[in-house]
Structure 1
Amino acid sequence: MTPRAKLILLLLCAAQFITALDFSILNVALPVLGKDLGMDQADLQWAVTAFALPSGGFLLLFGRIADLFGRRKLFLVGLALFTAASVLAALAWSPAAFLAGRAVQGLGAAIIVPTGMSLLTTTFAEGPQRERALGISGTVLSMGFTIGMVLGGVMTDGLGWRSTMGLLSVAGVAVLAAAPALLTESRHPERPRIDVPGAVTVTGGLLSLIYALSTAAEQGFGHPDVIVTLVVGLALLVAFVVVESRADQPLVSLPMLRRRTVAWGNLAGLTTFSMMSTVIFLLTLYLQEVLRLSAFQTGLVFGVQGVVSAFAGVVAPKVIGRLGARRTLLIGLLLQAGFTATLLGLGTDTGMWLALVGVTFASLGHLWAIISYGVTATSGVPDAEQGLATGLVTSSQQVGITIGIPLLSAVASAHIAALRADGSGFAAATLGGIKLSLGLDAALVAVVAVLVAAGLRTARGTRRG
């Protein structure tokens, strides 16, 4: 890898890192932020949802627009939007101004992520260099989410919640200043047309689905708004599949998903990202609301996890080299499921050490799963289709981070409300809701691990036959 290639990788990973940071840096600051801006407790979820909606909903659309108009150009536009929105959020004078900043941040992230991944795959040719670059990128994305929890706690306690948005502003300016000199323009050689029906259905479907899950966390799954938007979202996503099966230049190649390594690899990626980000979110709630730890103390717990995650990312390529990507993927998923399940032993008075050990070793498995699923999902794909394959890898990461938290936090919120109605105290009810969601989280990862093992074994047997 040349010095220039290393600098480009550093730049693209830095851009991915700050978008991942933005997903979590405010989580531990929400109570303080709400008091400062005068937001009701029930409205605090919109600090997360306002970012999640556009960042997940517009991901595929901006990836295709970048193919048409230039990836470098759109990457710079996304960085500029993200940075300006971070400044607005840091200076917000009202809930409306803050949420507007968060929404534009999400829009910027929806541009940065797919264009950054496309620039990465066009910079590094298929083979060991690309696999290494994808592994580093995936590790950085996951660590950004974790480190965001740590920085959020430390900065909120020491400098106030606005400092977290200020950090993103400074980081955005730094990346934006370096990008023009390092990046060269890249676009699809055939300048594909935008698949308008596909863009409308997938964007509308993801926006509706994320809104429904986020609203369910506050109002329950039985609320009319939730039911309507959930049905609309699922209907639009089904329509998207139909549209893509007939489109000449689809946003997502359905024939690509018929490759077992691509399909099962991306299912593993979607699952590991969605479920691990949810574990971190639920543990933040547990540590602050049940054990009454400060934002700073909560950040320190996740700091240990961050150190182990960094180590896991470093050794993962060696593990893959010895065991193979598929076996490492399955071990990673099972480790994540097993150590998430240990968190069912959390209590209302004690549990900090169990939380620290459980989330730390679950993260080790998660990092192994991240790096190995990227290799698995792009293996055996012809050079001409590598862009489509890596695009699916990126989409799995971003959609996973976006949908996991609202889905299982809605389950937790509904169970907490039911326990409170039955007379349980606040701490006991909150713990009950958290443990229910953690149990579902661990079970889902374990089931997917079994399915992926069977699917990939069938794929290997088919090729031998």
Structure 2
Amino acid sequence: MPIIKQGFGLEIADLSIRPPLPSVDTAAMPQTIDHPSNMPPPYACNDDNVNFPDPCNTPPTEDTLLLQRINQLSRERPKIFRSRWHEVLFVFSISITQFLTEFFVSGFVVILPTLMSELNIPQAASVWPATAFSLAIASTLLVFGRWGDMWGCYPVFLFGLVWLTVWSIIAGFSFNPLMLDLCRALQGLGAAAFLPTGVGIMGSLYRPGPRKNLVFAIYGFSGVFGFFGGIFIAGIVGQFLRWGFYFWIGGIVAAIDLVTSLISVPGHPGRSQGSKDIEMDYLGTAAIVTGLVLTVFSITQSAHAPLGWQTPYIIITFTVGILGLLVALYVETMMAKQPLLPASIFRIPSMTALIIGVFLLYGTWGIFSVYGTLYFQKIMGAGPLQVVAWYVPLGLAGLILSILEGFILHLVPGKVLLIISGTGALGAQLLLALIPGPGANYWAWIFPATIMSTIGIDLSTILMTVFVTTKVPTKQQGLAGGVVNSVLQLGVAFVLGLTDILQSAEEPKLGLAKSYKTTFWFGVGASAVGVLIFGIWGRVPKATGELTEQERDELSREIEGGP
């Protein structure tokens, strides 16, 4: 059955024309052939003594030709890019958005003590400027991902960069805690707009295979580099400049990325046009956003409320938040014609296990980046620049690991990489939990923990991004980006909320140092569960060159004789 179609975009229709098989004169063939012992068998390649077809020159089948062409296309630069430099600038533009997100998370932890002093932020209220950014991202990612599928990922992506630039500049002029909290939340909306749509744009341009693996590996590394860059800039600013420069430098980077995106994002039809068949699920959106915001708020704030979980506003917000999530579940499964988070995505083999496992691992990354940094500063007495120096190996290891994974994703089963990733996260948390104290040796404890934490997030997040964008149709790449980044941001938000409760409850009894260690032990448990999930259910295949989901659908319709 011919399966090579020009509609696939594979451009291999001419390969269906096969050369004729060599003619065989059966009348002239002897009935028996006696071969001397030193003569090769009659079917040996290049045997000119017998008039049999040469099996070494037998034309390949159509299926073989198709697979060869798919493999070739998966390694080539997409034709939509004019040159290699055009592609490099494009990958840079999309990857910098991941850098910016981590920049405004990690660096803020370093600059927060200065902000608390200059803006008179109480200790109990310091959690909000730190979490408002991530909470705004986590609660609205799916919404912006759907808008990307409706209107086109490109305009939503640009909106996010413009929005982040504006509110980063304004945040640098904050004069009270309320203004800072508001600016941080509005910054998060910008990141929520460009994160899913950036993944959607890349996912729609690259076919499954080695080149896509490498591109998304670079994208994944930019997050690790952003974490280091945020700490580095915040350390420099905290030591020598006014704290506002931290926000202004981030705003300048966002503005530069806006310009490079205008230049480099290819002008394909999907760049500015979405799908007219996709609609927004407004009821589900309202329920999801309300449920997530109020639930995370109540969990995080409960540790600092006057009566803890008995505080009336904590009880009310938590109850309303849970009800909102239950309403969202009902709407998405029973009412919505086009759910914001369709159930079909969870029917993809290994998807649920991958989501839960990465959710836990990225949560432990939040523990390392926040409580690890606080431990280094407050317990070990490290200054901002010393913390920067301690994190240098993280950036270098992230670069090496990301490039390595880009080259091996199509060679190594995903399950193996996931288990290695989970083991890295587990090792990092265990080292921090067992660290002797203020006088601990950097090379024995912090250095290996830094390397292992990089392994813990790099391998799993890159693999998940490639897997999800490959399994979701092209018209739903905004959804794919929303799912990936929602898992990451919600993992950090929920795990940090729970560890904040744990640390605040244990500090009066154990002291600050041991209360931080309780968060690391929580991370040990969470990462161990992640490893267990990956080991049992994480059957993710190699990321090899293959048909896209859209091509699979077309092929199925052709085989079934449909339109």
Q: Structure 1-normalised TM-score?
A: 0.90
**Cα deviation code 1:200-220 (max 9, x no counterpart):** 111111111221232134234
Return closer, same or farther for 1:388/1:76 CA change in 2, 3 Å cut-off: closer
**What does residue 302 of structure 2 align with?**
216
1:110 maps to 2:110: no
**What does residue 360 of structure 1 align with?**
451
User: When the two structures are aligned, how many residues end up with a matched partner?
Assistant: 451
- Counterpart selection for 1:30 from 112, 117, 121: 112
Return closer, same or farther for 1:225/1:150 CA change in 2, 3 Å cut-off: farther
Return closer, same or farther for 1:459/1:248 CA change in 2, 3 Å cut-off: farther
**What does residue 450 of structure 1 align with?**
532
1:259 maps to 2:348: yes
Within 5 Å, give how 1:36-185 maps onto structure 2.
36-183=118-265, 184=267, 185=271
Q: Distance in 1 between matches of 2:421 and 2:221?
A: 13
Give how far 1:363 is off: 1.8
**Cα deviation code 1:33-84 (max 9, x no counterpart):** 1111222222222221222232211111121122223322222222111111
Return closer, same or farther for 1:302/1:121 CA change in 2, 3 Å cut-off: same
Give how far 1:382 is off: 6.0
- Counterpart selection for 2:440 from 346, 351, 360: 351
Q: Distance in 1 between matches of 2:317 and 2:407?
A: 45
Return closer, same or farther for 1:380/1:19 CA change in 2, 3 Å cut-off: closer
Give how far 1:86 is off: 0.7
**What does residue 301 of structure 1 align with?**
390
Return closer, same or farther for 1:307/1:117 CA change in 2, 3 Å cut-off: same
User: What's the secondary structure of 2:340's corresponding residue?
Assistant: coil
Give the partner amino acid of 1:169: G
Within 5 Å, give how 1:344-423 maps onto structure 2.
344-351=433-440, 353=442, 354-377=445-468, 388-417=479-508, 419=509
Give the partner amino acid of 1:235: L
1:240 maps to 2:328: yes
Q: Distance in 1 between matches of 2:493 and 2:197?
A: 18
Give how far 1:283 is off: 0.9
**What does residue 188 of structure 1 align with?**
274
User: Which one is further off, 446-455 or 134-143?
Assistant: 134-143
Q: Distance in 2 between matches of 1:364 and 1:372?
A: 12
Q: Distance in 2 between matches of 1:217 and 1:379?
A: 41
Q: Distance in 1 between matches of 2:541 and 2:404?
A: 27
- Counterpart selection for 1:434 from 499, 506, 516: 516
Give how far 1:389 is off: 4.1
Within 5 Å, give how 1:270-309 maps onto structure 2.
270-309=359-398
Q: Distance in 1 between matches of 2:93 and 2:540?
A: 39
Root-mean-square deviation (CA, aligned residues, Å) is: 2.4
User: What's the secondary structure of 1:323's corresponding residue?
Assistant: coil
User: What's the secondary structure of 2:405's corresponding residue?
Assistant: helix
8 Å contact 2:415–2:541 — kept in the other structure? no
Q: Distance in 2 between matches of 1:73 and 1:17?
A: 20
Give how far 1:177 is off: 2.1
- Counterpart selection for 2:289 from 203, 217, 221: 203
Return closer, same or farther for 1:8/1:432 CA change in 2, 3 Å cut-off: same
Q: Which has the higher helix share?
A: 1
Give how far 1:160 is off: 3.4
Give the partner amino acid of 2:161: L
8 Å contact 1:273–1:397 — kept in the other structure? yes
Give the partner amino acid of 1:135: A
Return closer, same or farther for 1:218/1:299 CA change in 2, 3 Å cut-off: farther
Give how far 1:348 is off: 3.6
Give the partner amino acid of 2:328: F
Give the partner amino acid of 1:196: Y
User: Which one is further off, 58-67 or 124-133?
Assistant: 124-133
Return closer, same or farther for 1:222/1:142 CA change in 2, 3 Å cut-off: farther
Give how far 1:143 is off: 3.3
The structure whose Rg is larger is 2
User: What's the secondary structure of 1:26's corresponding residue?
Assistant: helix
Return closer, same or farther for 1:77/1:320 CA change in 2, 3 Å cut-off: closer
**What does residue 401 of structure 2 align with?**
312
User: What's the secondary structure of 1:125's corresponding residue?
Assistant: coil
Q: Distance in 2 between matches of 1:410 and 1:352?
A: 29
**Cα deviation code 1:299-336 (max 9, x no counterpart):** 22122222222222122234434432221111111121
Return closer, same or farther for 1:162/1:435 CA change in 2, 3 Å cut-off: same
Identity of aligned residues (%): 24
1:337 maps to 2:419: no
**Cα deviation code 1:375-398 (max 9, x no counterpart):** 444565666766644542232123
User: What's the secondary structure of 1:151's corresponding residue?
Assistant: helix
Give the partner amino acid of 1:162: G
Q: Distance in 2 between matches of 1:260 and 1:222?
A: 42
Q: Distance in 1 between matches of 2:477 and 2:176?
A: 45
Return closer, same or farther for 1:92/1:249 CA change in 2, 3 Å cut-off: same
**What does residue 55 of structure 2 align with?**
none
Give how far 1:108 is off: 1.1
- Which runs of 5 or more structure 2 residues have no equivalent in the other structure? 1-76, 543-563
Give how far 1:224 is off: 3.3
Q: Distance in 1 between matches of 2:123 and 2:197?
A: 36
Return closer, same or farther for 1:359/1:459 CA change in 2, 3 Å cut-off: closer
8 Å contact 1:325–1:376 — kept in the other structure? no
8 Å contact 2:415–2:534 — kept in the other structure? no
Give the partner amino acid of 1:402: A
8 Å contact 2:145–2:479 — kept in the other structure? no
Return closer, same or farther for 1:458/1:300 CA change in 2, 3 Å cut-off: closer
8 Å contact 2:142–2:486 — kept in the other structure? yes
Q: Distance in 2 between matches of 1:262 and 1:69?
A: 27
Give the partner amino acid of 1:346: I
Return closer, same or farther for 1:191/1:19 CA change in 2, 3 Å cut-off: farther
Q: Distance in 2 between matches of 1:205 and 1:320?
A: 36
Q: Distance in 2 between matches of 1:433 and 1:44?
A: 18
**Cα deviation code 1:132-190 (max 9, x no counterpart):** 33332223224323432233223311223222111111111111222223334344323
8 Å contact 2:293–2:321 — kept in the other structure? yes
8 Å contact 1:202–1:236 — kept in the other structure? yes
